[in-house]
Copies of this chain bind each other. A is one copy, B any other.
Amino acid sequence: MSSKEEIESAINAKGEQIREIKTAKPPTMKDDLAPLIAELLALKVSYKAVTGEDFGGPPPAAKPPKVKKAPEPVKEREGPSKKELNKLKAKEVKEAAKAAAAAAAEAAGLTPKNAPVVMGDADIGDASLYCDVPLIQSQIMTERVFVDVDDLRPQMQGQEVWLRARVHTSRPVGKGCFMVLRKGLATVQCVFFQGSSIPKAMIKYGNSISMESVVDVLATVTIPDSPIKSCSVSSLELSVKEIHVVSRAQDLPFTLEDAGRSEEDHIASGMPVVLQDTCLNFRHVDLRTPANQAIFRIQSGVCTLFREFLLKKKFIEIHSPKLIAGASEGGANVFNLEYFGKPACLAQSPQLYKQIACACSGLDRVFEVAPVFRAENSNTHRHLCEFMGLDFEMTIVEHYYEALDVMSGLFTYIFDGIGDRFNHELKVISQQYPFEPLQYTRPTLRITFQEGIQMLHDAGITDAPFDDDISTPHEKALGKLVKEKYGTDFYIMDKYPLSVRPFYTMPCPENPNLSNSYDLFIRGEEIVSGAQRVHDVNLLIERANHWKIPLEGIQPYIDSFKHGALPHAGGGIGLERVVMLYLGLKNIRKTSMFPRDPSRLAP
């Protein structure tokens, strides 16, 4: 049997034989069918060896997925798309799966290339139970419902479920395979042992799937004798009936176990941890660790909570341009570029625009969530060259305390919200990065700059100046003193020296050396900077002149205050810092999905 025609005819005959048995539907169907299907597969391998192509004949009998008709457009109509839909037939897909199964079996060493199978029929069994999924190209929509690992419940005992997940771990045990599947933060144990419905080849196929590959599994939910402590879904396990690789992972740069190991565990066990730079170089793998999955859910949550609170307070969301003609806050540390032949730069903050929108344009209360760009050559644990600014600006009636009240309410809402909505995520993170829960008061503690510096002096740190900016080590020391005295990790420090704040900061009415400005701190590190701003155009010009800021660079900004401007105040929150410090993490790169620092521009 060596000609194409002969093999085609044999394949078709074998297919017919299988269909006949299927139609009879005896209880032992699968066992009867297995050798026939193995023969069929062998024939197809021969076909490919002879013709160089996959066999495209009639489909095999093994249960085709139910085809759901692709959704119709809202109106009845004729045309090519209907024809297309008609083409989406299950048999084609199944056929492709078969061919892939044969190829996979071949690759797995089960069928020597260009030769009929050498394993026994029973060893191969129904290869459609353990073949690779053909490239998912939207050929078909079936009625298969996939269950998330997270949604598995003991009440499903005895039910058959489809899952698509990653192979978290896999190990051969005797004549079987133990596999942990993972989706997001959830893991579940899967088992299958060689037996009447599980051929030897399926075990081999399962054990050959590389870690982190994506698989589809059809399994029965069973209840184990004792909980599976190593999995997040511990009260049940899955008895695998089919397994199919959707996407096979090549060699990993590191294991998730190593990337997710806590420092404590590393020291205790001597097992490796992965360097942060290596993690970031392969961020797509690194992001899969439980802690990272949780960190970025919380990051998303902080943005949601920020907006929820402000929208309730009648703020509206704005979007200010990032491409600007002048430097937004003085000329240093900006990224320059050419804009259609004109010099331009990237906004270092939405500061000037949010002020214009708020105080000069009748929008009154505005917020923006957007990237800000700093060309600052700072290689520290808390600086990024691109980070997310959560900015807000609001008109005030009399006093910037009105804005501080909003700020206090906002952060209380965010901190409460993280605790309420991300309890599980917090636990997961603390397993890799143990941290003390954030202590905060209601309302937020306020101290003045002078009080803060005095506290340092009283504690023997007498080199902290009253009339200059506070250094990072002093901030940290103050954070500890405040925690001791007031029992809070979160507080506002008010009335900074005027000389250390931007030109648009409102001077303090009582003391011309101070300003109506404030920073907010978590665990002794700054997360917000804000102030009442100057809304009087003459004072604004005076302050810009004082700072020797060329007016022509900020003329549109200055001019915006000429036609009636409202008193206003606000602040800019660093998203990555809030998340880092809330979680007590030691490096801001851990809370930026694809961080940018002076030496990192990829991935």
Listed in ascending order, the chain A residues whose CB lies under 8 Å from chain B are: 70-71, 73-75, 77, 79-81, 84, 87, 135-142, 144, 146, 164, 166, 182-184, 212-214, 246-250, 252-253, 282-285, 287-288, 293, 296-297, 299-300, 303-304, 307, 311, 316-325, 335-340, 342, 344, 346, 353, 356-357, 360-364, 369-371, 373, 375, 377, 385-386, 388, 396-401, 405, 441-448, 450-451, 454, 485-486, 488, 494-495, 506-510, 516, 532, 535-537, 539, 556-557, 559-560, 562-567, 575, 592-596, 598-599, 601-603
Min CB distance, A568 to chain B, in Å? 10
A296, A488, A564, A598, most chain B CB atoms within 10 A: A564
Q: Can you give 10 contacting A-B residue pairs, CB < 8 Å?
A: A80-B451, A81-B447, A84-B510, A137-B507, A140-B399, A184-B362, A248-B564, A283-B356, A288-B362, A304-B307
CB-nearest residue of chain B relative to A361?
Answer: B287
Question: Once the chains bind, are B357 and A287 in contact (CB under 8 Å)?
Answer: yes
Measured between beta carbons, the chain B residues less than 8 angstroms from A136 are: 396, 398, 535, 567
Measured between beta carbons, the chain B residues less than 8 angstroms from A445 are: 73-75
Do A323 and B385 form a contact, CB below 8 Å, given A398-B140, A451-B81, A563-B249?
yes
Closest 4 CB pairs of A and B: A556-B603, A287-B361, A249-B564, A337-B337
Query: When the two chains form the complex, which single residue of B249, B454, B599 contacts A562, counting CB atoms closer than 8 Å?
Result: B249
Task: Give Cα A564–Cα B253 distance, bound, in whole angstroms.
Answer: 13
Measured between beta carbons, the chain B residues less than 8 angstroms from A371 are: 319, 321-322, 370-371
Query: When the two chains form the complex, which single residue of B138, B304, B373 contacts A323, counting CB atoms closer than 8 Å?
Result: B373
Known: A287-B361, A319-B592, A320-B593. 12 other contacts (CB 8 A): A71-B401, A74-B442, A75-B485, A81-B448, A81-B495, A138-B398, A138-B516, A144-B398, A184-B364, A253-B563, A284-B560, A323-B596
Measured between beta carbons, the chain B residues less than 8 angstroms from A396 are: 136, 138
Task: Give Cα A447–Cα B340 distance, bound, in whole angstroms.
Answer: 39
Min CB distance, A407 to chain B, in Å? 12
Task: Give Cα A474–Cα B532 distance, bound, in whole angstroms.
Answer: 52
- This chain's copy number in the assembly: 2
Min CB distance, A122 to chain B, in Å? 31
Min CB distance, A229 to chain B, in Å? 22
A297, A321, A400, A562, most chain B CB atoms within 10 A: A321
CB-nearest residue of chain B relative to A516?
Answer: B138
Do A339 and B335 form a contact, CB below 8 Å, given A249-B562, A300-B318, A321-B386?
yes
Question: Once the chains bind, are B397 and A598 in contact (CB under 8 Å)?
Answer: no
Measured between beta carbons, the chain B residues less than 8 angstroms from A386 are: 321-323
Measured between beta carbons, the chain B residues less than 8 angstroms from A70 are: 399, 401
A135, A250, A353, A385, most chain B CB atoms within 10 A: A135
Question: Once the chains bind, are B137 and A509 in contact (CB under 8 Å)?
Answer: yes
Question: Once the chains bind, are B319 and A287 in contact (CB under 8 Å)?
Answer: no
